[in-house]
Amino acid sequence: MKTFEGSMTALATPFRDGAFDEQAYRALVRYQIEGGTSVLIPMGTTGESVTMTADERARAVKVAVEESKGRVAVVGGGGSNSTAEAIDNVKRVRETGADGTLIVTPYYNKPSQAGLVEHFRAIARAHPGFPIIAYNVPGRTGVDMLPETVQRLCDLPEVVAIKEATGNLFRALEILEKCGERMTLLSGDDFTVLPFIACGGKGVISVSSNVAPRMMADLVAEARAGNIAKARDIQVRMNSLHRLLFVESNPIPVKWALHVMGLFGPELRLPLVPMSEPNASKLRDELRHLGLLKS
């Protein structure tokens, strides 16, 4: 079983004339691997998975698997607010040859903590032995998976890690306190990668690494090696980029950045709309400042 640690990228998804742009997606995968990304995460929030069909999502994961050629792990998003649909999604992810699946807590329904446990238990039972990264992002889903609930997930061997995206460092310490080394802690917040790793995290599932994979890989490597001063310098250098990539709803800014970098077309799917011109101008300037634009 491959390990899910290090600098991991929640891949954005390119579209051309309304359809999934496979060629551009392959180029993004190559850019990530060349930049030191350790794990690819297609079909998460950043990938606009909720606006894609089941067939499109499966194809995107398959392309990531094919293009990575076993060089890095691929963890395909399989989450849904319907447990039955999530089970079917994970079946499709497994069929692509992916190494695991990312399962977000059910959104909109607002299940109880007991309901969250049963959701993950049902998925694990349907797919024994297939690694699951649980994903807690209450700002998107309307439900917060508490540390006590994460502790209960330790009883499910399929749940190997948690992407914790609250940005709350005490939350990371609480999970570590309750789960020890049993549950791999992954940051879901680009702004706090260094302190999260200092609190026991093993890496990050990042948005910003779409555009700056080498910087994020270096940040994670230095932080995990205990080179705090070097890691801090990179974290601070990336602060402005993080702010601009989240100044509007993700993935609007990151897709625009990839477009001006020449990797993507500019398309989004409704209800997302293009980035406002003032923010787009600031983001372009920051990309140029970081040396991420060719001209």
The contacts of residue 87 (CB under 8 Å, 6+ apart) are 122, 123, 126, 127
pLDDT tops 80 at residue 12: yes
pLDDT tops 70 at residue 244: yes
pLDDT at 2: 75
pLDDT tops 70 at residue 295: no
pLDDT tens digits, 74-88: 999 999 999 999 999
106, 80 contact by CB (below 8 A): yes
pLDDT at 36: 98
Active-site annotation, residues: 135, 163
pLDDT tops 80 at residue 166: yes
Residues 15-28 have a mean pLDDT of: 97
Q: How confident is the model at residue 1 (pLDDT cuts 50, 70, 90)?
A: low
DSSP string covering 11-24: ----EETTEE-HHH
Q: Reduce the DSSP state of residue 93 to 3 states and report it.
A: helix
Helix count and strand count (H, E) for the chain: 12, 10
pLDDT at 3: 82
220, 192 contact by CB (below 8 A): no
